[in-house]
Amino acid sequence: MRNHKALRYQMSPLNSVWALGSVAAQPLHRGAGVLQPLGRDAQLGPSHAAGRKPPLLVLVLGETGRSGNFGLNGYDRDTTPALARLDVASLRNVWSCGTSTAASVPCMFSHLGREAYGAREHDAENLLDVLQHAGLAVLWIDNQSGCKGVCERVPHVSTSAGTDPMLCPDGSCQDMVMLQGLEQRIAALPAERRARGVVVVMHQMGSHGPAYSKRSPPQAKRFLPECTSAQLQDCSPQALVNAYDNSIAYTDQFLAATVGWLQRQTEASTAMVYLADHGESLGENNLYLHGLPYAVAPDVQKRVPWITWLSADWQRRSGVHTACLRQQADVRRSHDDWFHSVLGLLDVHTSVYRPEHDIYAACAPG
Ligand SMILES: [Zn+2]
């Protein structure tokens, strides 16, 4: 058995849980708690000229999003009809940093990228700190198990203990809860920062397993029958996929509702970017859930959706057009590009920005 390490992970759902535990056991912090400053030179670029609407960017941090199960990405089931009606660009060839939330989220918001992040000796400030150094208002809304340390120095709020009887029926809340009272949450951020621009991160419950059926409300279920057991191997393969796909269809509704909310914020120039933290195994080769060591994890645990919606005003001010982004759909990209792409999209200038890791730079003028 010791000589067949890969085999060991293929035996039962229990092994997936074991692997998840081993990833989570890696120390979250390095460098004796001393945090290295990052991007203290950050400044807003020329697109922020006086007289223009300030940017309002929503970053949706997806949970357990499997790229191939998005209709936008060519899935043979239409799991994303609402997004398909919007002017969005979806990248189909994006690879995660880790195979679990705890591994991926801090890595995504780091400037280092996967390899350097894994080898780092010290922790550093992250993307949210750099945005704050540039003078922007930043807010993290968490409908998940927390931000894994990345939101510690920016205003943050958890919605997962909500009491709305429709959205929070059984101890956790569906993602639409993050849109409730959002205007008031933003209005509570410092006024001088809001005047320069606002970045809101929404950390989804998304498709978090194994209870996929709890991730979509009854009226949103389009694929039946669905698996309602947390013992995934007790369900038929089709019922398991149905439950998972219903959670993607609900994410589709949530993302479209977020775009709808942004379209009503007429005082700002608006955009939304969605990127998931890792994928999921749905029983292929008897593998379930996620969290296998990166080297042996199947592609479905590592391939993630990256979807961008830019308002017409944002496209004008940035020169980045959705039609151009769509032509990049099959270019190989990764979580290594998240930090730099968000800086580029917001026209934040800093010495830590690397244009070769900015997926939007390929579509920017000049
Ligand atoms: Zn996750």
DSSP per-residue letters across 119-138:
T-SSEE--HHHHHHHTT-EE
By the 8 A CB rule, do 307 and 83 touch? yes
Of the listed ranges 110-119, 163-172, 314-323, 350-359, the one predicted with least confidence = 163-172
C-alpha 108 to ligand 1 mean position (Å)? 12
- Nearest alpha-carbon partner for 95 in 256, 287, 330, 317: 330
pLDDT, tens digit (0-9, with 9 covering 90-100), for 340-353: 999 999 999 999 99
Distance 91 CA to ligand 1 centre (A): 19
Question: Cα of 33 to ligand 1 centre, how many Å?
Answer: 24
Model confidence pLDDT, tens digit, residues 59-74: 999 999 999 999 999 9
- At 233-256, the pLDDT tens digits run 899 999 999 999 999 999 999 999
CA of 208 to the centre of ligand 1 (A): 7
Is residue 1 classed exposed, middle or buried when 0-12, 13-18 and 19+ CB atoms within 10 A define those classes?
Answer: exposed
Ligand 1 centre to CA of 209 (Å) is 9
Write down the mean pLDDT value for the chain.
Answer: 92
Q: How confident is the model at residue 184 (pLDDT cuts 50, 70, 90)?
A: very high
Higher pLDDT, 354 or 13: 354
**220 CA from centroid of ligand 1 (Å):** 22
Position of tokens 């009503």?
264
CA of 206 to the centre of ligand 1 (A): 9
Ligand 1 centroid to Cα of residue 122, in Å, is: 24
pLDDT(17) > 50: no
Residue 173 has a CB neighbour count (10 Å cut-off) of 22
The Å distance, Cα 96 to ligand 1 centre, comes to 11
The model's confidence at residue 14, banded by pLDDT at 50, 70 and 90, is: very low
Taking the centre of ligand 1 as the mean of its atom positions, its distance from the CA of residue 76, in whole angstroms, is 24
Distance 65 CA to ligand 1 centre (A): 8
For tokens 């979806």, what's the residue? 90
Give the pair of three-digit tokens for residue 268: 């700002």
The residue with tokens 């998972």 is 244
Instruction: Please give the Cα distance from 67 to 110 (Å, whole number).
Output: 22
CA of 194 to the centre of ligand 1 (A): 30
From ligand 1's centre to the CA of 117, what distance in Å? 18
Once rounded to an integer, what is the mean pLDDT over residues 37-61?
96
Q: Using CA atoms in the order 291, 295, 298, 304, what is the torsion angle rounded to 10 degrees?
A: 70
Inter-residue contact 235 to 224 (CB < 8 Å): no
CA distance 41 to 62: 30
Spacing, Cα 302 to ligand 1 middle (Å) = 11
Give pLDDT, residue 11.
41
Tokens read off for 150: 């990345």
Element (H, E) at 187: helix 182-187
Measured CA to CA, the distance from residue 254 to residue 101 in angstroms comes to 20
CA count, 13 A, side-chain hemisphere, 109? 26
Asked if the model's pLDDT at residue 75 lies above 70, the reply is yes
Å from CA of 204 to ligand 1 middle: 9
What is the reported pTM?
A: 0.93
Q: Give residue-wise pLDDT tens across range 273-312.
A: 999 999 999 999 999 999 999 999 999 999 999 999 999 9
Nearest to 296 by CA among 1, 6, 102, 2: 6
Q: Say how far apart CA 262 and CA 151 lie, in whole Å.
A: 22
Ligand 1 centre and the CA of 54: distance in Å? 31
Task: Return all residues near 60 (Cβ < 8 A) that are at least 6 apart.
Answer: 201, 202, 204, 254, 255, 258, 272, 273, 274, 275
142 C-alpha vs ligand 1 centroid, how far in Å?
13
Predicted confidence (pLDDT) at residue 196 exceeds the cutoff of 70: yes
Q: Measured on CA atoms in the order 296, 99, 132, 149, is the torsion positive or negative?
A: negative
Ligand 1: centre distance to CA 317 (Å)? 33
